[in-house]
Structure 1
Amino acid sequence: MTTDTFRVGLMFSSTGPYSSVAEPMLNGAMLAISEINGEGAVRLDPVVVNPGGDLSRYASLSSQLLSSGIRQVVGCYTSSSRKEVIPAFEKHDGMLWYPSHYEGFESSDNVVYTGAAPNQHILPLIDYLMSSYGDRAFCVGSNYIWAWENNRILREVVVARAGTVLAERYLPVGETDFDKTIEAILAAQPNFVFSSLIGVSGYSFIRRLREACVARGIDQPAVMPIASCNLNEPDLVDIGGDAVAGHISSSVYFSSLQTPESRAFVSAYAAAYPDKPWASADAEASYIAVKLLAAAMREARSDEIGAVRSALANQRLAAPQGEVLVDAETMHLYLTPRIGRSRDDATFEVIREEPSAIRPDPYLVRFSATDAWRSAASRLRVVS
């Protein structure tokens, strides 16, 4: 039987202000391609482009890939880059596989979302923070849609539960001057700090806040932990030093999971990239995207998006995080929410998790700020 070969695009900013996240995403995609090509049922020929974190380059690179005949592209990390390229995919009848947690409230026939939707990351995090630390929040984020929308969701839930969002601060992507923001946090004394900063901005903020708290004799992880939906293992390595431990992260995957699939993924990733063996949720989402894409193209015997979409609706995958399956209605995935606490060794201890994958709810249509968090939180189990 002849093996079908398909060209696929990979578009990640492996250089630039958030390269520490985007590079593992590219690595996860390439690892999946290597495994798929080794199996021989279908062969993928990757074409890699690097926007370098420059938002203005995403649309032109997408058009170049699609104009060359490529129909399937795995890529983008930030929501601003995703929104920048969707018109090109709609124009050229291509499909973007978006492998990142995101803020939701979006649907496109030309996008498959393999990262977490808001009900799979921010809602479990809010409940954990308010039940464990208190109801006074301070929000800090990079100045684009990811932070705006996550803070909006957080604000609505916190206020509905009689809590308070003390302040919201937004800074440019790549900003590292946080003196005034940290002064405001220390003056406000929140129960927790919700950070949606990305890349070097997040690393600098975490280090600076820890330093300021240590100087004042404040046990920051205990009294005002930093919590995030986008903090992962590569981020912890870049934070470094004495500021690594004690942060709270909501994710669907941590590399410390001890399932056979997770151990195999972490081992294969470390072998393929020995200089940076930091598997993460973002790397896993890219890995999942490529695996599902290959399975759909193998079944469809085509890379045409209608045929791939039809085949995709039947796909399930034993992923590193556990079984994932496609929600044909939304083109998002059933994923397993988890809460982790960072440790000194730049890994996460899983402290809460869902017993199984939950249905994506990108528009939160099944969610009420006053009631739905209770039913969602009741399924979370504490990991001892």
Structure 2
Amino acid sequence: MRRTVDIGFLFSTDGTYRHMGRNGLLGAQHALAEVNASGAFDFVLRATHVNPQGVLQGYGEGAARLIEQGVRHIFGTTTSASRKEIIPDLEQHASTLWYACPYEGYESSENVLYFGGCPNQTLIPLLRFALATFGKRALLVGSNYVWGWESNRIAREVITLAGGEVLKEKYMHLGATQVAELVQAVVSEPPAFVLNNLVGDSSYAFLHQLDAACQVGGLQLPVLSSNLAEAELTELGSLQNLRMLACGPFFEAADPAFCQRQTERHGRHVYSHLYAGSYSAVHLFARALQQCGDDDSATICAYLHQHPQQSVLGELRVSPRNNHSSLACHIAELQNGRFVIVHSEPQAVPADPYMTATDLTEFRQLSAPTPRLRIVK
């Protein structure tokens, strides 16, 4: 008889970023079912799901409850605020969070494994593409917490290095949907592109109203995001006047065969990078547990540091220096309701959460004046 190992799922399936949480939870649940149905493991995983409903305090309470039940490994959280909320509990009880959402960097915890991408893996390639494709006049918007602040700070630095200009930088409270003033700020002085670091309902309201305002003004605006996922497209519907671009380690178009297999196994769902990240994390945990024989957090992490793992995200190499993984980076544009990949980095990008090894001098080259042909008669 196989032993039972308890794990925790900490995803908000209600609240302003519910679509992100639901898709991440789905990936974890599908991986759990596959592990338990497989004959390759001498254990069964038993998961307890706690739904904080998007309330920050609920994450701390949920993590504490799971840890009290003997759970050492928690999969989930969506926002950086929710992740940071539970890190003290993880550290105190030698537990691990498997985190599969993009975040703003400048963090490295021994008790967090990062599989969602930090700025050098997401935002930097996206800005490189945007500055070369659309121009250098940008407008930055974001939710008023660490994700929005840090993402826009990095963007401002990069755009300035490239000789560009940040026309405006605006913030909204998480979940706020009164966006008329923000939309007016965009259309009154149209930028070359908008970098959208709003989250959940705030983002959906902004995009819908900006699309309508652009239609009235006869504008076509590129809007970029390094956190928008395919799981959120049902909220966006048809955006006729915005060029929506997103980046991440996975899109359905990156691996249609995987999406087809998952559909055959689990039914038709959206397989976003949120799904793929959580799905990969549970499978990686199961493989490490099988090899280690014990779910001690330090032992599991040490195994992953020493043994790169194949996954739907590609080969995942977890760095012993910072617990982040190398990741693919794809940039995709929304076309006819689906994301179509328009650029992929040539190889997996090693994580540099503190931006200490990321060379930004390439952006200075963009600041050089464009040579002009002078015709002499």
Q: Which residue of 2 aligns with 1:69?
A: 70
Residue 247 of structure 2 aligns with an amino acid whose one-letter code is: S
Q: Which residue of 1 aligns with 2:244?
A: 247
Equivalent residues in 2 for 1:1-384 (5 A)?
3-40=2-39, 41=41, 42-218=43-219, 220=220, 224-243=221-240, 246-258=243-255, 260-265=257-262, 267-268=263-264, 272=266, 274=268, 277-345=269-337, 347-371=338-362
1:121 CA drift (Å): 0.2
Residue 272 of structure 1 aligns with an amino acid whose one-letter code is: H
Partner Cα separation in structure 2 for residue 260 and residue 321 of structure 1: 13
Partner Cα separation in structure 2 for residue 24 and residue 273 of structure 1: 14
Task: Provide Cα deviations, 1:115-159, integer angstroms capped at 9, x if missing partner.
Answer: 111111000000000000000110111111111111011011110
Residue 34 of structure 1 aligns with an amino acid whose one-letter code is: A
Gap runs ≥5 in structure 1: 375-384
Q: Tell me, yes or no, if the aligned pair for 1:262 and 1:320 is still in contact at 8 Å.
A: no
Task: Provide Cα deviations, 1:175-215, integer angstroms capped at 9, x if missing partner.
Answer: 11111111111112110000011111111111100000101
Task: Provide Cα deviations, 1:279-317, integer angstroms capped at 9, x if missing partner.
Answer: 101111111111111111111111111211121223333
Partner Cα separation in structure 1 for residue 321 and residue 260 of structure 2: 32
RMSD across aligned positions (CA): 1.8
Partner Cα separation in structure 1 for residue 176 and residue 350 of structure 2: 36
Q: Tell me, yes or no, if the aligned pair for 2:223 and 2:244 is still in contact at 8 Å.
A: yes
Partner Cα separation in structure 2 for residue 103 and residue 241 of structure 1: 29
Q: Tell me, yes or no, if the aligned pair for 1:13 and 1:50 is still in contact at 8 Å.
A: yes
Partner Cα separation in structure 2 for residue 172 and residue 91 of structure 1: 31
Partner Cα separation in structure 2 for residue 106 and residue 357 of structure 1: 20
Which is further off, 241-250 or 155-164? 241-250
1:262 CA drift (Å): 4.8
Task: Provide Cα deviations, 1:314-337, integer angstroms capped at 9, x if missing partner.
Answer: 333332233322222211111111
User: Structure 1 259/211 Cα, relative in aligned 2: closer, same or farther at 3 Å?
Assistant: closer
Partner Cα separation in structure 2 for residue 7 and residue 309 of structure 1: 17
1:4 CA drift (Å): 4.1
SS at 2:204 equivalent: helix
Partner Cα separation in structure 1 for residue 363 and residue 281 of structure 2: 29
Q: Tell me, yes or no, if the aligned pair for 1:138 and 1:194 is still in contact at 8 Å.
A: yes
1:259 CA drift (Å): 5.4
SS at 1:47 equivalent: strand
User: Structure 1 316/173 Cα, relative in aligned 2: closer, same or farther at 3 Å?
Assistant: same
Q: Tell me, yes or no, if the aligned pair for 1:261 and 1:319 is still in contact at 8 Å.
A: no
Q: Tell me, yes or no, if the aligned pair for 2:229 and 2:246 is still in contact at 8 Å.
A: yes
Q: Tell me, yes or no, if the aligned pair for 2:247 and 2:329 is still in contact at 8 Å.
A: yes
Task: Provide Cα deviations, 1:33-57, integer angstroms capped at 9, x if missing partner.
Answer: 1111111313211011000000111
1:373 CA drift (Å): 8.7
Partner Cα separation in structure 2 for residue 371 and residue 324 of structure 1: 27
Q: Tell me, yes or no, if the aligned pair for 1:55 and 1:80 is still in contact at 8 Å.
A: yes
SS at 1:213 equivalent: helix
Number of residues paired by the alignment? 363
Residue 369 of structure 1 aligns with an amino acid whose one-letter code is: L
Task: Provide Cα deviations, 1:55-114, integer angstroms capped at 9, x if missing partner.
Answer: 111111111111111111001000000001100111111111111111111011111111
SS at 1:17 equivalent: coil
User: Structure 1 242/137 Cα, relative in aligned 2: closer, same or farther at 3 Å?
Assistant: closer
User: Structure 1 174/295 Cα, relative in aligned 2: closer, same or farther at 3 Å?
Assistant: same
1:245 CA drift (Å): 6.8
Partner Cα separation in structure 1 for residue 308 and residue 260 of structure 2: 20
1:32 CA drift (Å): 0.6
Q: Tell me, yes or no, if the aligned pair for 1:18 and 1:199 is still in contact at 8 Å.
A: yes
1:372 CA drift (Å): 7.5
User: Structure 1 101/373 Cα, relative in aligned 2: closer, same or farther at 3 Å?
Assistant: farther
Partner Cα separation in structure 2 for residue 39 and residue 316 of structure 1: 21
Partner Cα separation in structure 2 for residue 245 and residue 296 of structure 1: 44
Report the TM-score, using the length of structure 2 for normalisation.
Answer: 0.92
Report the TM-score, using the length of structure 1 for normalisation.
Answer: 0.90
Q: Tell me, yes or no, if the aligned pair for 2:259 and 2:271 is still in contact at 8 Å.
A: no
Residue 81 of structure 2 aligns with an amino acid whose one-letter code is: S
